[in-house]
Structure 1
Amino acid sequence: MQHAPLWLLPALLGSLALAPLAQAATPLTLEQRMAALEARAAAAESRAAAAEQQARQTAAELARLKRSDPAIQASGPQPEASAPVLAARLADVEARQAALEKLGRSETKNPSKLTNGFSFNGYARSGLLIDDSLGGGRGGPYVTPAGSVGGAVGRLGNEDDTYMRIDLSKELHAENGTRSKFTVSIADGVETSNDWTAEESTLNVRQAYAALDHIAAFKGNPVLENATLWAGKRYDRDTFDIHWLDSDVVYLAGTGGGVYDLQFGEGWRSNFSLMGRDYGDFSAQGGNADVESYILTSNQFFDDGRWQWMFNAIGSNQNDTRRNAAGLTPADSGVHSMVAHHQKGFFGREGFFKTALLYGQGLGAEVKNLGSDGELLDDAQALRLALYGQTPLARGWRIAPSLLAEQSQDRYVGGDDYRWLTLNLRLAKEITSNFEMVYEMSWQTMDLDPMGYQQRNAVDGDFWKLTVAPTFKPDMGGFFTRPELRVFASLMDWSKELDDYSGSDAFGQDGFGAGGVWQFGVQMETWF
């Protein structure tokens, strides 16, 4: 029986221990490094076990030879002297293994070196709109006179802009389990079709905030342990919209801070925040200063989020030092409330349906974009109703109906009155696994009496739109599968009286008057 010389074992063990370290010079991801670390640890344990087994076998063989060969007995204890050397080599392997484990732990604590925890999300649309005389098309979801007070109409085949928003986030995990996240959102929107749009660009940072969740100090507290703390510039996490109209149901945004997901009872969670906004400038000693407004928000969710009650108190103590466009003193405070029901399913069918009733007074009478309108009077009041949802209709068909209606009065001039209602219906028919026909029908009726505010005239009439849009997409997963590549044709018409609402809006301009307007185009829309 032949055995490897005992003095070769330390060299062999050393070379095996150094090999993984040489391979580690190539940059790897955290997952690859941790996998390699586990493999090295397992290999080191295996080598140590094998070395111990070999040492035992060698010692046993030497003992046997000593007993049978007097010459070996006379040679003294030199062979056994290699055992301490072997032990030293094994200790070196263990030290190297510990160093690798320490490296892995340090990288987990400092993930700024890593790509994990980074997310990239966004939304974008870009399209070309052409009228029936090969001129530039006109439109937009707020093209009608009612759009001046939030009356949106269907957006499909009615957009001629390029808009994009990019959300970049980075998560970090503390050793105690607390997770932090920083998010920045950059947005831009232009209507020009040119490739270089620096002069028209409205590039803007929409969000820049940080948040903490899984907070170690809150563990074990049933109210706080699921809470998220945040501060910075952002739009509210629980904002929701009617996509078909490009209209938020409610939109809360600004700079401030708050807490999400306090758990006060089973199926009941609460959000609270304080956000600030600016209304412009007012004269003050030493020059001009910003007119600040503040929105204190309570957002309550019951029955695991099916019911929502939102309340907002708005204050701007210096707003009454200004004059609105009608020369009147605007409000310095207001209240706003919303009750919403988020139905899981579409009346017993697959899909969803949402209902929201909103009311506002004073600065809260802008019931959608909370706290954004500093022109409103103390007596301003608004009531808005939103209904929308989507469901499969029949084999290969989907339907998404929506209704948005509002009545408001005493907004900017005492006695003014704005009433409008929009009905919208989007249909989709799947043709192949990547192609569908999409149809959208919109009707809006309005009765507006602005009492001369911004040289606007009283009008009463209707608007309607029909769009057909052959659409390509990666899969037939539903209305919200993106990206979509569309070509479209839209026919719009409205009551002639609406052309007289304002000299500064699109209606009544050359080539864009009542009697029927055809528009054509191509558009991309995506989100991820």
Structure 2
Amino acid sequence: MRQRTKLAITITSILLPAHFAMAQSDLSALEARINELESRVASAEKTAQEAQQDAAAFEFTGYARSGLIANDDFNGAQGTGVGMTPVGGLGGHIGRLGVEDDTYVEANLIHRRTADNGSSAYYKIMLADGQESKNPWTADSSQVNVRQAFAEFSNLSSFSGAFKDAKIWAGKRFDRDNFDIHFLDSDIVYLAGTGAGIYDVQLGDNWKSNFSVYGHDFSDVDGNDIESYTVTMNNHIGQWQLMVNGIIAKDNEENGTNDAENGLHALLAYHADSFYGISDGFSKTGVIAGHGLGAEVKNIGSDGNLTDDAKSVRFFTYGVTRFADNWRIAPAFMTQYSKDQYQENDKFVWATLNVRLAQEFTDNFEMVYEGTYQYMDLDNASDEAKGSFYKATVAPTFKLSTAGGFFDRPELRFAVSYVDWSNELDGSYSINGATKTLGDGGEAFFALQMETWF
């Protein structure tokens, strides 16, 4: 019995260390597997986080409109659009509701990147196409264009003082601080081209300035590539904006005996955060003046046909407010006086008053009304014309939420418009070689349109 006990003890003493050794070996292997699994999970989480960050770094935005217009004879309406009157080429637009029948598309691809030191980069490319054709495939009429392609840096760690929050950029772009009257489809100022600049230089407690240079191609004269260069200082002091532009186009006089080679342009505007101090909403009011190449007061530095003595002054004001539970209003007024614009002694005076109203019936349906009056007094140094243009539009409109206001999109519209003008404007009139033909007045248009942006 004692011998058996001794034998058991001996065997146990031999096996137990081996068992413990095997258990410890299995535990070490298990810990290694757990550590490996945790490492794989951490790596997968990091990869997913990086993928999420990369996805968030890319954006896609856009704008589009597409419409169909027929006249009261159910023929395709010809010559309609915001610039359909003789002063359309001078920026004298009418209300856009019910008169646009083109298909226009913008697609913006954006990428953002932030470095470890906090510096940020912003890259944007815009592709755009516009055409009048109603056919589903019209390659010959396509005008696909790269309208913007630029890079912008911000939060640069090496910037300090007045430049601490500044942004620098280069490439082809629309200026960041352009603004427009949407209801007239007209920019107040449209500074664009290819160049470089710096935004948000802090010159005072309430004063920021932007500096830029933009280039524009004019035309080839005797093999010379004539370009204009616009140098800009755009100041924002509180709600006031003072913008000054100097323009130069060397050898542009070779285009014509009296074409300008330089010019000045200035804008003074007030951006109110209320509807003229009367109610909630916003309003913008200002005056623009230009001389020489600056006499094209909207598309700055883009017109090479202006004379040395060309001069223009434009006044604008517009705003948006809600004046009842289910009513909104957006009035706009713009007027311009130009002299010696394209020919010595030419003179153009025009004024546009546009009012858009929206009456909300349900969460998704509203009636939109628009009325336009435009006065013209024109003398192109050869022919004179004076008269008025009128437009009235009613547009039943569907949208996702009428509570979103005038600028919520998408919208689906049916519109009926009536246009008329003074007999003195019947027929054709030419400004700067562009001839507009209104024909006889008193015509109705029927339109369908989609518009969206995001």
TM over 0.5: yes
- Quick check: 1:192 aligned with 2:125? no
**Cross-structure match for 1:216:** 157
Given candidates 315, 332, 343, the residue that maps to 2:272 is 343
SS across alignment from 1:11: helix
**Cross-structure match for 2:5:** none
**Cross-structure match for 1:91:** none
SS across alignment from 1:379: coil
**Cross-structure match for 1:155:** 96
Given candidates 133, 144, 160, the residue that maps to 2:73 is 133
Higher strand share: 2
**Cross-structure match for 1:72:** none
Given candidates 253, 262, 266, the residue that maps to 1:333 is 262
For residues 172 and 301 of structure 2, the distance between their equivalents in structure 1, rounded to whole angstroms, comes to 15
**TM-score of the aligned structures, taking structure 1 as reference length:** 0.78
Q: Residue deviations 1:45-82, cap 9 Å, x none?
A: xxxxxxxxxxxxxxxxxxxxxxxxxxxxxxxxxxxxxx
For residues 492 and 311 of structure 1, the distance between their equivalents in structure 2, rounded to whole angstroms, comes to 38
Deviation at 1:18, TM superposition (A): 2.7
- Quick check: 1:244 aligned with 2:183? yes
Given candidates 133, 139, 146, the residue that maps to 2:87 is 146
For residues 436 and 228 of structure 2, the distance between their equivalents in structure 1, rounded to whole angstroms, comes to 32
Given candidates 307, 325, 328, the residue that maps to 2:240 is 307
For residues 331 and 144 of structure 1, the distance between their equivalents in structure 2, rounded to whole angstroms, comes to 27
Given candidates 412, 426, 445, the residue that maps to 1:485 is 412
**Cross-structure match for 1:71:** none
Counterpart code for 1:310: M
SS across alignment from 2:426: helix
**Cross-structure match for 2:17:** none
Deviation at 1:148, TM superposition (A): 2.5
Higher helix share: 1
Structure 1 or 2, whichever has the larger Rg, is 1
Q: Residue deviations 1:380-399, cap 9 Å, x none?
A: 00000010010001111000
SS across alignment from 2:161: coil
Extract unaligned runs of 5+ from structure 1. Answer: 35-103
Deviation at 1:24, TM superposition (A): 7.6
Counterpart code for 2:173: R
SS across alignment from 2:106: strand
For residues 194 and 295 of structure 1, the distance between their equivalents in structure 2, rounded to whole angstroms, comes to 40
Deviation at 1:447, TM superposition (A): 0.3
Deviation at 1:488, TM superposition (A): 0.7
For residues 438 and 420 of structure 1, the distance between their equivalents in structure 2, rounded to whole angstroms, comes to 26
After the TM superposition, which segments of 4 or more aligned residues of structure 1 sit over 6 Å from their partners?
A: none
Q: Does structure 1 retain, via aligned residues, the 8 Å contact 2:99–2:447?
A: no
Extract unaligned runs of 5+ from structure 2. Answer: 1-19
Q: Residue deviations 1:269-302, cap 9 Å, x none?
A: 000001111110111xxxx121011000000000
SS across alignment from 1:19: helix
SS across alignment from 2:233: strand
For residues 408 and 35 of structure 2, the distance between their equivalents in structure 1, rounded to whole angstroms, comes to 51
User: What percent of counterpart residues are identical?
Assistant: 46
Q: Does structure 1 retain, via aligned residues, the 8 Å contact 2:428–2:436?
A: no
- After superposition, residues 40-439 of structure 1 pair within 5 angstroms as 114-138=54-78, 139-218=80-159, 221-283=160-222, 288-303=223-238, 306-323=239-256, 328-346=257-275, 347-439=277-369
> Which of the pair has the greater relative contact order for Cα pairs under 8 Å at 6+ separation?
2
Q: Does structure 2 retain, via aligned residues, the 8 Å contact 1:458–1:501?
A: no
Q: Residue deviations 1:114-161, cap 9 Å, x none?
A: 222111111110000111111001310010011131110000001010
Counterpart code for 2:174: Y
Figure out how many residues of one structure are paired with residues of the other and give that number: 428
For residues 479 and 208 of structure 1, the distance between their equivalents in structure 2, rounded to whole angstroms, comes to 30
For residues 89 and 147 of structure 2, the distance between their equivalents in structure 1, rounded to whole angstroms, comes to 23
**Cross-structure match for 2:48:** 33
SS across alignment from 2:406: coil
For residues 362 and 439 of structure 1, the distance between their equivalents in structure 2, rounded to whole angstroms, comes to 39
Deviation at 1:20, TM superposition (A): 4.6
For residues 321 and 519 of structure 1, the distance between their equivalents in structure 2, rounded to whole angstroms, comes to 45
**Cross-structure match for 2:385:** 459
Q: Residue deviations 1:195-235, cap 9 Å, x none?
A: 112101111111111110000101xx230111000001111
Q: Does structure 2 retain, via aligned residues, the 8 Å contact 1:385–1:406?
A: yes
**Cross-structure match for 1:471:** 397
- Quick check: 1:527 aligned with 2:453? yes
Counterpart code for 2:351: L
For residues 378 and 126 of structure 1, the distance between their equivalents in structure 2, rounded to whole angstroms, comes to 40
State the Cα RMSD in Å: 1.9
Counterpart code for 1:295: T
Given candidates 30, 34, 41, the residue that maps to 1:16 is 34
Q: Does structure 2 retain, via aligned residues, the 8 Å contact 1:229–1:260?
A: yes
For residues 232 and 373 of structure 2, the distance between their equivalents in structure 1, rounded to whole angstroms, comes to 34
Q: Does structure 1 retain, via aligned residues, the 8 Å contact 2:84–2:438?
A: no
For residues 207 and 482 of structure 1, the distance between their equivalents in structure 2, rounded to whole angstroms, comes to 23
Q: Does structure 1 retain, via aligned residues, the 8 Å contact 2:123–2:152?
A: yes
For residues 22 and 449 of structure 1, the distance between their equivalents in structure 2, rounded to whole angstroms, comes to 79
For residues 506 and 434 of structure 1, the distance between their equivalents in structure 2, rounded to whole angstroms, comes to 39
For residues 60 and 278 of structure 2, the distance between their equivalents in structure 1, rounded to whole angstroms, comes to 36
Counterpart code for 1:350: D
Are residues 20 and 197 of structure 1, via their aligned partners in 2, closer, same or farther at CA, if it must alter by over 3 Å?
farther
For residues 508 and 116 of structure 1, the distance between their equivalents in structure 2, rounded to whole angstroms, comes to 50
